[in-house]
Amino acid sequence: MAAHQEKKGEERHRQSTQNGTRTSQVQWGRAWEVDWFSLASIIFLLMFAPLIVYYFIMSCDQYQCSLIDPVIDLLTGNEHLSDIWNKTPTLTYKAAGIYTLWVAFQVVLYVCVPDFCHKFLPGYVGGVQEGAVTPAGVVNKYEINGLQAWIITHVLWFANAYCFHCFSPTIIFDNWIPLLWCANILGYAVSTFAMIKGYFFPTNAKDCKFTGNFFYDYMMGIEFNPRIGKWFDFKLFFNGRPGIVAWTLINLSYAAKQQELYGQVTNSMILVNVLQGIYVLDFFWNEAWYLKTIDICHDHFGWYLGWGDCVWLPYLYTLQGLYLVYHPVQLCTANAIGILMLGLIGYYIFRMTNHQKDLFRRTNGNCKIWGKKPEYIECSYMSVDGTKYYSKLMTSGFWGWARHFNYTGDLMGSLAYCLTCGFDHILPYFYIIYMTILLTHRCVRDEHRCFSKYGKDWKRYTAAVPYRLIPGIF
């Protein structure tokens, strides 16, 4: 929006070079050409990501969360693949019913219940909000009501757990693998639908990208902002709900299972619920701000987001809680406090860094960062129709320490979740390993995009702020 506001209306001219680099105006956003490494990674992920999720969940179900034991069993001939598969719960009508109701309920909350939270929560930005300007120069409107959906869902969850008893609070854990099949069906269905829609009835044809490579287009998406009707936005819906609303419910279900199995909920489980709960609530409190993050304002909607939000996120981001059902860890007070502090400091850095950029962009630099007027680098870029826009890259506050200090805070928080599980197994550490790869790759991806977008202005910025994640090191 800030960039949009900065549009100097009269300055419209088409050109194929900008900012001293030979970049086409339409290069920022997802790639147009596919290099062999990207293609190989994509085919690998399409083939193996569903298997990775299955392997992790099956390891907990059949091997007490050991990632090594299934391999040893297979190599020594103790078990055959078919034995493992035969012991895996299948899709059930019950799970299909639960999942359908769950997704339908979230659709209703998203589409039919306009936000009222912004009317009484001071500082909360909800209701109809504008997204960032797209490469085609479009500014979409979104109904921001995720916090409301989260609150309603959780109030109903607790009302059921403590008053109505219509279903057990362990329902998610008890149906975890059958629900995995349902999530996969939805993930593949929505990605396939998005691909077909991109070809035959796109919401905005100018914001579609076709590389000509089927696998790349399926994975990374064709349409930038696919929608059904005026308000059902695929990216906003699948990014936030059903995956992120479910995240805290899944953790609550794990806590309920611990209570059922062991008669108590361990402090490690409480820590996971609290720290991840803060992260999820932060997401919904700042949903309008997320419209300006890479997922919403740069990525196209394909399998990466569609399947990823339905399957990868709810199943792999919640591994710590799942692990703690099988291995209830009671931390000593010092360790629990240390982990809590790490999680809270990480969260503080994550939020403050994001807040500084948001404030800076919203006020067009007319604000104070750490008590001083922020320093910045002026830059310009061009949209698909040749309109020239101006923007600013801040070099003050956390953005002067490193170019992605928000990721550093995120990684500290992620490490805290994993540490709650102790050191007996590698499985709960998947999250920090994955987040380190994801966010490091994102640094590279984002910087490549920013360079395409801002050209030599971006180079001036990287000279002023030379480190990516850890000042003085990387």
93-112 vs 176-200: helix crossing angle, rounded to 10: 50
Burial zone of 210 (CB within 10 Å; 0-12 exposed, 13-18 middle, 19+ buried): exposed
Which residue of 254, 398, 407, 431 would you call a contact of ligand NDP, by CB under 6 A? Answer: 407
Is residue 350 a contact residue for ligand NDP (CB under 6 A)? Answer: yes
Please name the amino acid found at residue 155: V
First to last CA, the chain: 30
Characterize 405-442 residue by residue with b for buried, 16 or more Cβ atoms within 10 angstroms of its Cβ, and e for exposed. Answer: bbbbbbbbbbbbbbbbbbeebebbbbbbebbeeebbee
What's the half-sphere exposure (Cβ side, CA atoms, 13 Å) at 39? 10
d(CA 254, CA 157): 14
Question: Which 284-313 positions form the footprint of ligand NDP (CB under 6 A)?
Answer: 293-294
Is residue 418 a contact residue for ligand NDP (CB under 6 A)? Answer: no
Is residue 241 a contact residue for ligand NDP (CB under 6 A)? Answer: no
Question: Which 116-155 positions form the footprint of ligand NDP (CB under 6 A)?
Answer: none
Quote the Cα angle for 460-463-466, to 5°.
140
Is residue 72 a contact residue for ligand NDP (CB under 6 A)? Answer: no
- Which tokens in the block code for residue 428? 């709960």
* Min CB(394)–ligand NDP separation in Å: 4
Q: Which is nearer to ligand NDP, 204 or 293 (CB)?
A: 293
Question: By CB under 6 A, which span of 31-39, 58-66, 253-261, 349-357 interacts with ligand NDP?
Answer: 349-357
Is residue 404 a contact residue for ligand NDP (CB under 6 A)? Answer: yes
Is residue 446 a contact residue for ligand NDP (CB under 6 A)? Answer: yes
d(CA 68, CA 427): 10
* Min CB(233)–ligand NDP separation in Å: 17
Give the CA distances from residue 377 to residues 343, 374, 395, in Å, rounded to whole numbers and listed in that order.
32, 10, 7
Which residue of 442, 460, 464, 471 would you call a contact of ligand NDP, by CB under 6 A? Answer: 442
Is residue 354 a contact residue for ligand NDP (CB under 6 A)? Answer: yes
Is residue 450 a contact residue for ligand NDP (CB under 6 A)? Answer: yes
Q: Is residue 58 classed as helix, strand or coil in its secondary structure?
A: helix
Which residue of 115, 223, 410, 457 would you call a contact of ligand NDP, by CB under 6 A? Answer: 410
Query: How many residues line the site for ligand NDP (CB under 6 A)?
Result: 18
> Which residue sits closest to ligand NDP, CB atoms considered?
293
Contact 179, 172 (CB under 8 A): yes
Which residue of 357, 388, 425, 468 would you call a contact of ligand NDP, by CB under 6 A? Answer: 357
Q: Which is nearer to ligand NDP, 128 or 443 (CB)?
A: 443
Is residue 339 a contact residue for ligand NDP (CB under 6 A)? Answer: no
Burial zone of 264 (CB within 10 Å; 0-12 exposed, 13-18 middle, 19+ buried): exposed
Binding site for ligand NDP (CB under 6 A): 3, 293-294, 350, 354, 357, 391, 393-394, 399, 404, 406-407, 410, 442, 446, 450, 453
